[in-house]
Amino acid sequence: MVLVILAVCAALGAADQYVGSLSRFWSAAWEVPALSAPWLLLPFAVGVVQRDWRRAALVGWLATLAALVGYGLMVISPVEHAHFTFAAFVAFVRSNRLWFAGAALSGPLFGCVGRWWAVSRAWPAAAVTAGAVLLEPLFHPVANRALPVGDVPLGPVTGAEFAIGVALAGWFGWRYARYRRRSGG
């Protein structure tokens, strides 16, 4: 089962890179690979289906790592008009070591957050996860020093991510309310 999860995560990473390469056809495509919240949803979702905390952390990290490897393999693949070599892959890893270091932190953390949600329907786990998706459109331009706070362009990708964040928050709220009613709390 873990191998299937990792293969799916690698495919999602590759798809993320591929969509970004379509920017010559679709003006908003360049925004998709720049989104970080979907990369946090991967280990969260993986953590939800793990049977214990340690496994949720480990598989959360491996899922994020697999997605990064899939992304990197797509960057240096013939699909992207590149010639795959091991040296090119090593160069990708070196040039993206900050992202790999971030994966070593965010993967296990959000894997455990997913497990926390699965075990106890903890509202902080839902708030952190939905908040990452919902608030990223507000902070992404600021983090890139492109715009002052408040001047967030509402392009199709930004709007879609915000809408997904709202839907995710609503879904978490609904699931939390059902859990509280059933548990009598």
- Residue range 117-147, pLDDT digits in tens: 999 999 999 999 999 888 877 766 555 555 4
Q: Indicate the pTM of the whole model.
A: 0.81
Question: How far is 99 from 95, CA to CA, in rounded Å?
Answer: 9
In this structure, what DSSP letter does residue 110 have? H
**Among 82, 110, 61, residue whose Cα is nearest residue 118:** 110
Packing angle, helices 37-48 and 53-75, rounded to 10: 140
pLDDT classification of 33: cutoffs 50, 70, 90? low
Q: What SS3 state is found at 50?
A: coil
127 contacts 176 by C-beta, under 8 angstroms: no
Spell out the residues 6+ positions from residue 24 whose beta carbon is closer than 8 angstroms to its own.
none
Tokens of 70: 């899939």
